[in-house]
């Protein structure tokens, strides 16, 4: 058992080589303020080797881990040193101890590591962690970025071998007064269902640069490339992975098929009656039935669909398009046809798309 009060305080604080100056309690609504200072030998000037002098004692307030349900602020009484030689070009410098806190971060080292684990591994939001620490959102986010990037750079085996690679865009944020959209591209290992990386934008330049950074040996192992019907992503795969088999996401195939079927219905509608669809027009009355999954059509719905097609589609163009999509659906569902990265799609008789893509 340790009875030295200074050592007891050091163990409770959990910081190495520091002196605990005191604890400031300003009430239950305010965070506890823990005052510390570094303990160590007096440094010497790197230029001339003279023993440094204390210039002043700036205080740096850092968000720390909560204690007994209350937020904590660690107030670090730093030492700003100076060279006693007035002709020395070094001038002054401030003591740095990364064991207490990294430079330019508003949290202690242990709080930054804890926040990174909470956000990165436990999936908590930055706002939730910031509320628990009792600090600003940007304070936690800056710490997570700094510690997270270091972890990613140190984990050289994080990506590993990939045989099926997928890309898809995501609306990352809306910023500014006019809510300008910022997009990002997710790079996914489809086989394992693992997010490999996120690059800014939804064009082709950033994904192409990311693929180029992986090296030729890694690129040669990719056999399948899954994507939506995006031209930039297709161009990236054509350039960087020319030998990979490109596979379209079923969600976007279904969406495109439904769109083309609806375009055909509207065109025939205008050619037949000379105006846009009205509630009494045959083709307008079956606009929902045309995109309903074939197995979900009961006898009543099928009879209504075929009857109104016969009444409003004199040349059979809409009916032929609908049947063609049904045939394509049968081909898509055969086991020998591989569709990577999506759920069970239905389109035109195929049904409305369901976004369950792994890409």
Q: How many residues does the chain have?
A: 359
∠ CA(126), CA(131), CA(135), 5° rounding? 90
Residue 331: its pLDDT value, please?
58
CATH class of residue range 164-248: alpha beta
Displacement of CA 291 from its chain's centroid (Å)? 33
> Above 90 in pLDDT, residue 89?
no
pTM of the model: 0.60
Angle, helices 137-154/109-120, rounded to nearest 10 degrees: 80
Dihedral of alpha carbons 197, 198, 202, 206, sign? negative
CA 189, CA 300: separation in Å to the nearest integer?
45
Confidence at 339, pLDDT banded by 50, 70, 90: very low
Lowest-pLDDT range, 107-121, 202-216, 271-285, 322-336? 322-336
pLDDT band at 167 (very low <50, low <70, confident <90, very high): very high
Give the residue from 146, 126, 147 showing the smallest Cα distance to 136: 126
Q: What is the pLDDT of residues 248-283, one digit of tens each?
A: 877 788 888 888 899 999 999 999 989 888 888 999
- The pLDDT of residue 194 is 87
Please enumerate in sequence order all residues whose Cβ is within 8 A of that of 102, keeping only pairs 6 or more positions apart, or say none: 109, 112, 146
Nearest to 155 by CA among 126, 202, 194: 194
User: Averaged over 198-209, what is the pLDDT?
Assistant: 93
CB 241, CB 225: distance < 8 Å: yes
pLDDT score of 335 more than 60: no
Radius of gyration of the chain measured on its C-alpha atoms: 32
- The DSSP letter of residue 233 is H
Tokens 């389109």 correspond to: 347
Of the chain, the percentage scoring pLDDT greater than 70 comes to 87
What is the pLDDT, as a whole number, of residue 268?
92
What would the mean pLDDT of 103-125 be, rounded to a whole number? 91
Q: Whole-number mean pLDDT of the chain? A: 84
First to last CA, the chain: 56
Q: Where in the chain is the domain with CATH 3.30.420.10?
A: 164-248
Q: Which run of H or of E encompasses 198?
A: strand 194-200
Residue with tokens 């202690």: 108
């Amino acid at each position: 058992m340790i009875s030295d009060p200074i050592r007891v305080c050091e163990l409770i604080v959990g910081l190495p080589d520091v002196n605990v100056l005191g604890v400031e309690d300003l009430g239950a609504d305010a965070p506890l303020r823990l005052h510390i200072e570094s303990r160590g030998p007096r440094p010497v000037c790197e230029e001339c080797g003279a023993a440094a002098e204390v210039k002043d004692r700036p205080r740096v307030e850092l968000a720390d881990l909560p204690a007994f349900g209350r937020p904590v602020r660690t107030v670090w009484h730093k030492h700003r040193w100076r060279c006693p030689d007035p002709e020395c070009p070094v001038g002054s410098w401030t003591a740095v101890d990364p064991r207490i806190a990294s430079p330019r971060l508003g949290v202690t080292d242990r709080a930054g590591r804890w926040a990174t684990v909470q956000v990165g591994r436990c999936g908590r939001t930055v706002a939730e962690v910031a509320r628990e620490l009792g600090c600003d959102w940007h304070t936690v986010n800056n710490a997570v970025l700094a510690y997270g990037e270091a972890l990613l750079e140190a984990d050289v085996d994080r990506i590993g071998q990939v045989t099926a690679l997928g890309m898809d865009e995501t609306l990352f944020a809306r910023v500014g007064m006019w809510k300008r959209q910022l997009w990002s591209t997710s790079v996914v290992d489809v086989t394992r269902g693992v997010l490999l990386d996120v690059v800014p934008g939804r064009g082709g330049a950033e994904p192409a640069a990311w693929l180029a950074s992986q090296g030729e040996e890694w690129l040669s192992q990719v056999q399948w490339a899954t994507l939506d019907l995006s031209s930039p992503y297709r161009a990236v795969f054509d350039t960087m992975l020319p030998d990979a088999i490109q596979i379209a996401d079923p969600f976007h195939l279904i969406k495109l098929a439904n769109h083309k079927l609806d375009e055909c219905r509207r065109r025939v509608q205008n050619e037949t009656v000379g105006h846009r669809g009205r509630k009494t027009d045959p083709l307008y009355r079956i606009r929902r039935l045309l995109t309903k999954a074939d197995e979900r059509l009961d006898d009543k719905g099928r009879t209504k669909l075929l009857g109104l097609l016969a009444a409003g589609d004199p040349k059979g163009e809409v009916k032929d398009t609908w049947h063609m999509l049904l045939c394509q659906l049968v081909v898509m569902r055969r086991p020998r046809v591989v569709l990577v990265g999506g759920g069970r799609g239905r389109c035109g008789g195929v049904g409305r798309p369901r976004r369950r893509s792994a890409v």
